[in-house]
Each structure stands twice: as C-alpha cells, then as structure tokens.
Amino acid sequence: MLDVYNILPHVTSLPLPFRIIGHLLRIVWMVLTTIYAIPPYLVWTFLVFPLRFFYLDFYWMIEGFLFSGLLAIISSWLITGQYQSKF
C-alpha cells in the first residue's frame, strides 16, 4: 500500500526561514481553497433547496455530493499538514 506521508518532504529537516515560508504558503493555500470552495457550495445549496420539498431523496443525493467535495478539500489540508491517524 502506498503511504502518501512518506512522499511529502518533512518540513522539520529544512532551515528555519524555509519552514516559515512553507507554513505561510500552506496557510495562504488553505485560505484560498476555503474562499474558492465555500461560496459555490452555498450557492448550489440555495439553488437546490426547493427540491427538498418535492424530491427529498434527490436533494439529499445532491447535498451529499456537494458535501463530499468539501470534505475532500479538508482531507487535502490534513495530507499537506502530514497528519497521521494512530488507528
């Protein structure tokens, strides 16, 4: 099985100025992906909200698809932060 955490370079092995730049770039990337992802999610949620009254199952299918996209972005934050599950 491929371990994605071993592919990413370990930030602690870099000199301090490069670590600071790396952390700042990661924060900027997280903010930009949030700005990029949340507004379209909200717009689509408001657009498909009337379906909830007529086609409840279809609404929840669309909502699940949109929410899984947001979870994919959050999981990419975890991978770039080199978080590992202990389980």
Give pTM, 2 decimals.
Answer: 0.63
Could you read off the pLDDT of 41-80 as tens digits, one per residue?
999 999 999 999 999 999 999 999 999 988 888 888 877 7
Could you tell me where the DSSP H helices lie in the chain? 4-7, 16-48, 51-54, 56-80
pLDDT reported for residue 6: 53
**Residue of higher predicted confidence among 67 and 1:** 67
**Residue 82 region, left (φ>0) first, then alpha (ψ -120 to 50), else beta?**
left
Cβ–Cβ under 8 Å, residues 80 and 29? yes
